[in-house]
Amino acid sequence: MIKPKFGPAGNSDSFYQEGFSASVDMPKWLAARELDAFEYSFGRGIRLGTEGAKAIRAEAEKYGIQLSVHMPYFINLATEEDEKKIKNIGYFVDSLKVAEALGAKRAVFHPGSASGGDRGAILQRAKVFFKEIIATLDDMNLMNVTLCAETMGKINQLGSLEEVIELCNVDERVWPTIDFGHLHCRGLGAINSKEDYAAILDKLENGIGTERAKTMHVHFSRIEYTKGGEKMHHTFADVQYGPEFMPLAELIAERGYEPVFICESKGTMAEDAKSMKDMYFSAINGLLK
């Protein structure tokens, strides 16, 4: 049975409006909404301790919620300064320790900056440093959570589809996080059809093989962009912003992919994750007709 997973990045506004505040209540809340994934953000720093993580883990296991974490936004694989490199390694080490306590399967990160020089040289530098980071994590026995390199929405950030494929090819244990909203933005409105999605999936399969492509990590939301790329995330109700999810749902169903879908809508991420799940099942039912 092919089974993608669906859930939000962080808690929806409605979670708080209903009187909940603690993440330990999140797994039960999500399960009641027929969701089975959640991404915990360490974006602005790792503020979750090991004990808190273990309490969330127990609830997540009880309610069948697969957890991932989003590592700090400060990560920059392209950095050249030794002091910053040490800090970067620290972000990985600290995130992965808590991710393990949380029972998270995946840890998403932003590759870093692509400004200030030749883009190819910056990517090469990032790949060399990434390899060093992985070696350090191996030494510390911290490579049990899958590292997922994310496609980024701003053109001056490392994280085109091609760059993410190259980072995945640094080590076969690295997985892609394909943020389709980000790819739409950095391509200044690049995703307008099922063919546009198919081209992305084909490139991914050719670049990293079908196993990792089929089980990719996905971020999805409608996003507004300017000439530099991503401007801001919107909700599924903001239909003036792309991309549309349904053509992707159809391809995922047709190709038998089983990704983890994390919805990053602004405030309605759980509700929109459920809409994504419904669209996926309507695509599956369409195939059976």
Footprint of Zn ion on this chain (CB under 5 A)? 150
Cβ 152 to Zn ion shortest distance, Å: 8
Cα angle for residues 209, 143, 78 (degrees, 5° grid)? 75
Distance CA 285, CA 289 (A): 7
Nearer to Zn ion, 157 or 253 (CB): 157
Nearer to Zn ion, 150 or 230 (CB): 150
Angle between helix axes 161-168 and 119-139 (nearest 10 degrees) is: 30
Cβ 150 to Zn ion shortest distance, Å: 5
Distance CA 33, CA 26 (A): 11
Nearer to Zn ion, 42 or 257 (CB): 42
Nearer to Zn ion, 59 or 105 (CB): 105
Cβ 253 to Zn ion shortest distance, Å: 25
Nearer to Zn ion, 221 or 235 (CB): 221
Cβ 232 to Zn ion shortest distance, Å: 14
Angstrom CA distances, 212 to 55, 173, 226, stand at 30, 9, 31
Cβ 265 to Zn ion shortest distance, Å: 14
Distance CA 96, CA 152 (A): 21
Cβ 39 to Zn ion shortest distance, Å: 9
Task: Tell me the residue nearest to Zn ion as measured from the CB.
Answer: 150
Nearer to Zn ion, 56 or 148 (CB): 148
Angstrom CA distances, 216 to 29, 83, 157, 183, 239, stand at 25, 33, 21, 15, 26
- DSSP letter, residue 69: E
Neighbours of 120 (CB within 10 A): 9
Rounded to the nearest 5°, which phi and psi values hold at 264? Answer: -115, 30
